């Protein structure tokens, strides 16, 4: 019997990345999960990431620390206010204030380095073009260009016939589809954290909470986490 | 009079990056220098980086901290011995043990984020294909693929007609040519640090010292820094 193949999975601890990890597992990969501590406003999602990795039987969970606050430039790392109570239709058409410059480029670069070190050829990430059409680094054409670059940058892509591959299984799915898929795969959604704020319980009014709540509503399922101000 | 354009310059503190910074300055750019504290074996090069930036009138010097030791995989971040006393002809044909997986990919991703935040369109780095032909991420084709990816990943590349550009002015130069060019531009080579070891003075026998000494010898100039074991 051959060894299970390992995949590096970017696991932020949110709903999308947890579902992505479950999909990788379902496809037969052994999970090497990777989270980033990059000066985000709260650590709730890092705790969620470690808990979800363990719940899914991740073999290895690593946290890479770096500080984007040195650069400034986004509501998620600066003191700029995160928007609350927006209509869903207001989201996703412009580049939002929560955009972190180069974030997925940086995340995927670290994932590439980690894949190289552990001999994995597959990288999974939970980006989604539907909800985040305003983020330039959530598009398929960015991923296609990235993986070509990553293969040129590494031994994996230049020696012994290996090729790195990138998987973004959620990229065209709606939030409701993601949740339905995740429930089928027993994703522990109660452990996930999506809220942009770092309160005791999720705020229920930031863009991320609103998208999550709308997804559960559309899937006809109630979200297992409590909310401070649920409007759905 | 128009404002001087800013360029992000990757400045490790070594001979090549210092020369690259001087070239960017000579081309009329205002320098925003960037160094990385990534678990390398010594901090000598970080001190050199800050000193060189200041000496060249860099407007802004930032250090991004992250830890590649979490991944392992290279003599420059692990406890594996750096090779000493090799013939120059032994270098640069295979991927050396000092290769750090994904390093330039990670460095350039941070440079892209920083360029995005400060509104710079130009990124300079001192990579050199001649000396480091064994490193997959020191090739022009990697840079070409990278900048295409970076433009897809950022606002700069997707809005308001801006395009990020990457400059690797040393990529085809020999070490002797680099040194001649640098002296013409008054690069403070006495402040630079190239040695892979972190001793009081440069070892003179690691690959990096050997290449540097050979460069000065070929340029017919004496290296202003002292060496513990100079064989040239």
Task: Please write the tens of the pLDDT for every residue from A22-50.
Answer: 999 999 999 999 999 887 667 888 999 99
Count how many residues are written for chain A. 232
* Residues B136, A158: C-beta atoms closer than 8 Å: yes
Which value does ipTM take for this structure?
A: 0.87
Q: Which of chain B's residues have a Cβ under 8 Å away from the Cβ of A68?
A: 113
* Residues A113, B95: C-beta atoms closer than 8 Å: no
| Helix, strand or coil, per DSSP, at residue B84 | strand
Q: Which of chain A's residues have a Cβ under 8 Å away from the Cβ of B105?
A: 109, 112-113, 149-150, 153-154
Out of B65, B137, B149, name the one closest to residue A146 (CB).
Answer: B149
Min Cα separation A155/chain B (Å)? 7
* Residues B65, A62: C-beta atoms closer than 8 Å: no
pTM for this model (two decimals): 0.88
Out of B66, B118, B149, name the one closest to residue A145 (CB).
Answer: B149
Best to test chain B binding among A149, A150, A157, A166 (most B CBs inside 10 Å) = A149
Cβ atoms of A179 and A219 closer than 8 Å: yes
Token pair 């002797």 in the structure block, residue? B176
pLDDT score of B196? 84
Cβ neighbours around B76 below 10 Å, total: 21
**CA angle, A104 then B163 then A156, to 5°:** 45
* Residues B136, A154: C-beta atoms closer than 8 Å: yes
| Helix, strand or coil, per DSSP, at residue A47 | helix
Burial class (CB in 10 A: 0-12, 13-18, 19+), B47: middle
Min Cα separation B136/chain A (Å)? 5
Min Cα separation B111/chain A (Å)? 9
Per-residue pLDDT of chain B (232 residues; tens, 9 = 90+): 567 799 999 999 999 999 999 999 999 999 999 999 887 667 888 999 999 999 999 888 999 988 777 776 554 455 445 566 666 666 655 555 556 778 899 999 999 999 988 889 999 999 988 766 677 888 899 999 999 999 998 876 666 677 999 999 999 999 999 999 999 999 999 999 999 887 889 999 988 899 899 999 999 999 999 999 755 4
Q: Which of chain B's residues have a Cβ under 8 Å away from the Cβ of A63?
A: 70
Best to test chain A binding among B149, B151, B162 (most A CBs inside 10 Å) = B149
pLDDT score of A181? 97
pLDDT score of A23? 98
Q: In chain B, what's the furthest Cα-to-Cα distance? A: 55
Q: Which of chain A's residues have a Cβ under 8 Å away from the Cβ of B113?
A: 68, 71, 73, 100-103, 105-106
Min Cα separation A153/chain B (Å)? 4
Q: In chain A, what's the furthest Cα-to-Cα distance? A: 55
- How is residue B101 written in tokens? 């997986």
Per-residue pLDDT of chain A (232 residues; tens, 9 = 90+): 567 799 999 999 999 999 999 999 999 999 999 999 887 667 888 999 999 999 999 888 999 988 777 776 554 555 445 566 666 666 655 555 556 778 899 999 999 999 988 889 999 999 988 766 677 888 899 999 999 999 998 876 666 677 999 999 999 999 999 999 999 999 999 999 999 887 889 999 988 899 899 999 999 999 999 999 755 4
* Residues A136, B158: C-beta atoms closer than 8 Å: yes
Interface A:B, Cβ pairs < 8 A? 144
Cβ atoms of B179 and B197 closer than 8 Å: no
Q: Which of chain A's residues have a Cβ under 8 Å away from the Cβ of B101?
A: 112-113, 116-117, 154-155
* Residues B137, A153: C-beta atoms closer than 8 Å: yes
* Residues A153, B141: C-beta atoms closer than 8 Å: no
Q: Which of chain B's residues have a Cβ under 8 Å away from the Cβ of A108?
A: 109
| Helix, strand or coil, per DSSP, at residue A88 | helix
CA distances (Å), origin A43, targets A36, A103, B123: 10, 17, 32
* Residues A149, B157: C-beta atoms closer than 8 Å: no
Min Cα separation A175/chain B (Å)? 23
Domains and CATH numbers, chain A: 6-219 (3.40.50.620)
Cα B139 to Cα A153: distance, rounded to the nearest angstrom: 8
Q: Which of chain B's residues have a Cβ under 8 Å away from the Cβ of A154?
A: 101-102, 105, 136-137
């Amino acid at each position: 019997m051959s060894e299970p193949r390992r995949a590096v999975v970017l696991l932020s601890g949110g709903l999308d990345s947890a579902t992505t990890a479950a999909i990788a597992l379902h496809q037969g990969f052994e999970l090497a999960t990777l989270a980033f501590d990059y000066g985000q406003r709260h650590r709730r999602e890092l705790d969620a990431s470690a808990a979800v990795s363990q719940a899914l039987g991740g073999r290895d969970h690593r946290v890479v620390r770096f500080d984007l606050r040195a650069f400034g430039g986004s509501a998620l790392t600066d003191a700029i206010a995160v928007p609350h109570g927006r209509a869903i239709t207001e989201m996703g058409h412009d580049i939002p204030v929560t955009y972190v410059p180069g974030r997925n480029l940086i995340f995927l670069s670290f994932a590439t380095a980690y894949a190289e070190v552990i001999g994995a050829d597959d990288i999974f990430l939970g980006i989604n073009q539907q909800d985040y059409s305003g983020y330039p680094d959530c598009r398929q054409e960015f991923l296609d260009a990235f993986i070509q670059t990553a293969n040129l940058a590494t031994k994996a892509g230049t020696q012994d016939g290996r090729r790195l591959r990138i998987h973004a299984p959620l990229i065209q799915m709606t939030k409701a589809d993601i949740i339905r898929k995740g429930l089928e795969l027993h994703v522990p959604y109660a452990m996930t954290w999506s809220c942009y704020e770092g309160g005791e319980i999720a705020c229920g009014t930031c863009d991320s909470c609103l998208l999550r709540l709308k997804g559960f509503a559309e899937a006809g399922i109630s979200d297992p986490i409590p909310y401070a101000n649920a409007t759905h």
